[in-house]
Amino acid sequence: MSGIRIGFRPEGIEIEGGLVWLDATRPKPFGLITHAHGDHVARHKTVLATPATAALFRKRNGPGPEFLERRYGETTRVGDLEITLLPAGHILGSAMALIEGRGQRLLYTGDVRLEGGLTCPPAQPVKADILITEATFGLPRYVFEPAGAVRARLLDFARETLEQGSTPVFLAYALGKAQELMALLSRAAIPVAAHGTVWNLCTVYREFGIPFPASRRLGRSGGRKAAVIVSRRYLKTPEVQSAAPLRVAAVTGWGERARGPEIDAVFALSDHADHPALLRLVRRVGPSKVHVVHGYAREFAGELRALGIDAEAVDGHAGPV
């Protein structure tokens, strides 16, 4: 058998001459969407995705594609291929794709976090002949502090700020990271006021069994006596500023790179795998070939080659972020 045919194009990854496209950013006849972040989606004619990803897509983009909704572990036949979605640990609904056919097994991770989070299960990588993965944090210097320790310090920041009569404001991506923070704070009985761009997506999380007790939508009356969650672009809006005095924290895997004049604290909490986790991922999959499609792709592929693994960075691929 010649093996599964893979094409790396500017708009995404093409499997078997366009039979299936992985995370393509332009409409295709049949697209697999690993998760609902905007840089991974397009209005394909037919979309294969988890139910949560489909629901988040519709919430953000309205009705459109025909969805083939598949739960984790369910297999879909497309032509001569069998595709099984597995947890990716990135955000609610995120999936890796195991593609089997032509005598080969290909695992495409999309965005991946091995340990998962409070709102999504851990990743479940499996053995495969070919691995296509990201390397957002693919340099040895990216070693994250254990998530539990970061979460504990984040809760201390929120409590101390509220006790001082100020408002803790957490800057986070509206989809994924924001809901992780809401889950963390809510479980600790800390009231949460979420900006509308965050709050609107929470309805989907609730549909999939993730509650946010003691939470409300941030209104013009402000977020006093609550932790405010908002993406960075809306920090200066009247809703947020009316909760002053503020103490602002950025929550991102980039850590100190996120610091700025308006930032009082940074918490390095990521929904991507760090460098050691990426190495563990490769070892668990045990592939004979690795393609690295995003981030520090050249550096990580070079490191894998130095370890005796056949790996290459894919130039020109728009790729997942």
Give 301-314 pLDDT, tens digit per residue.
Answer: 999 999 999 999 99
Percent of the chain with pLDDT over 90: 89
Strand 6-9, strand 12-15: pairing? antiparallel
Cβ–Cβ under 8 Å, residues 28 and 48: no
- Asked if the model's pLDDT at residue 220 lies above 80, the reply is no
- The mean pLDDT value for 284-288 works out to 98
- Asked if the model's pLDDT at residue 317 lies above 70, the reply is no
- 319 pLDDT band (50/70/90 cuts)? very low
For residues 25, 133, 292, 61, the Cα torsion angle rounded to the nearest 10 degrees is 10
Tokens of 207: 């549909």
pLDDT at position 222: 63
What are the structural domain ranges in the chain?
6-141+272-313, 147-267
What pLDDT digit, counting tens, does each position of 100-139 carry? 999 999 999 999 999 999 999 999 999 999 999 999 999 9
CATH of domain 147-267: 3.40.50.10890
- 224 pLDDT band (50/70/90 cuts)? confident
- Asked if the model's pLDDT at residue 167 lies above 90, the reply is yes
More confident residue, 283 or 224: 283
CATH of domain 6-141+272-313: 3.60.15.10
Cβ–Cβ under 8 Å, residues 61 and 47: no
- 79 pLDDT band (50/70/90 cuts)? very high
Supply the angle between the helices 196-207 and 51-61 in degrees, to the nearest 10. 150
What are residue 295's phi and psi, to 5 degrees?
A: 75, -135
pLDDT at position 221: 66
* Ramachandran bin of 242, using left for φ above 0, alpha for ψ from -120 to 50, beta for the remaining angles: alpha
pLDDT at position 223: 66
- The mean pLDDT value for 150-178 works out to 97
Mean pLDDT for the chain overall: 94
- 214 pLDDT band (50/70/90 cuts)? confident
pLDDT at position 293: 94
- The mean pLDDT value for 191-197 works out to 96
